Structure 1
């Protein structure tokens, strides 16, 4: 997992062949006005999901993991409250992996919480069970870049 500011994105482009293109999208796109929804950048290898919504509470969050995609979650406005737990420490999923939604959900809880303010991003790999948008009624505008593990 990575947590940093977009200004430091150059530090991470070596971590995956598509990271340079992903960070270029974040740096060169007018994210304040871009419409919500799914945007293809490089087909199914790299795409963006733009959202603006309130989240869930700490009583209602679920830890999730993905197998085929790495998430770069960039906060455009607001502050996203996120949690993380190492997948190796999680129990069996209570909602097993589903190919269509590309996720599994776990009953586990985490004590590893952090805030991601506007202008910052996280990178979650397939071994990072994570919970995002644990913001209650606070609205957060963000973009989740989905990067194919095998780029």
Structure 2
């Protein structure tokens, strides 16, 4: 898991062949004007999901993981409260992996909570169980889905 500001994104472009295009999208697109929903960038290998709204309380959070995609979650406005736990430390999923939605959900709770303010991003790999939108604040964000290679 990585947490940093978009201004430092160049530090991470070497970690995946599509990260440079992903971060270019975040820097160059008018993220406040993009409609809510999915936007293809490089077909199904790199796409964006734009969302806006309030989240859920911490006690209702569910940790999730993905197998096919790495998440770069970038906060456009507001502050997203997120949680993290190493997948190796998680109990068996209570909602097993579903390939169509590329997600499994776990009953575990985490003590690792952090705020992601506007202008910052997280990177979650397939071994990073995470919970996002754990906030009552209004947040606009984009989740970039990058195919694991």
SS in 2 for 1:108: coil
Report the Cα offset of residue 32 of structure 1: 1.1
CA drift of 1:59 comes to: 1.5
* Stretches of 4+ aligned residues off by more than 4 angstroms: none
SS of 2:20's partner is helix
- TM-superposed CA distance for 1:51, in Å, is 0.3
Per the TM alignment, residue 33 of structure 1 is displaced from its structure 2 partner at its CA by: 1.2
The aligned counterpart of 1:128 is 128
Q: Which runs of 5+ in 2 are unaligned?
A: none
What are the residue-to-residue correspondences of 1:44-63 with 2, within 5 Å? Answer: 44-63=44-63
Give per-residue Cα distances to partners, 1:108-129, cap 9 Å, x unaligned.
0000000000000000000000
Number of the residue aligned with 2:144: 145
SS at match of 1:59: helix
Structural RMSD (CA): 0.5
* Residues 33-48 of structure 1 mapped to structure 2, 5 A cutoff: 33-48=33-48
Corresponding position: 1:23 with 2:23: yes
Aligned to 1:106: 106
What TM-score comes out, normalization by structure 2 length?
A: 0.99
> For residues 6-54 of structure 1, what are the alpha-carbon distances to aligned partners after superposition, in whole Å with 9 as ceiling and x for unaligned?
0000000000000000000000001111111000000000000000011
For residue 139 of structure 1, report the CA deviation from its aligned partner: 1.1
Q: What's the counterpart of residue 93 of structure 2?
A: 93
1:77 corresponds to which residue?
77
Q: What TM-score comes out, normalization by structure 1 length?
A: 0.98
Unaligned stretches of 5+ residues in structure 1: none
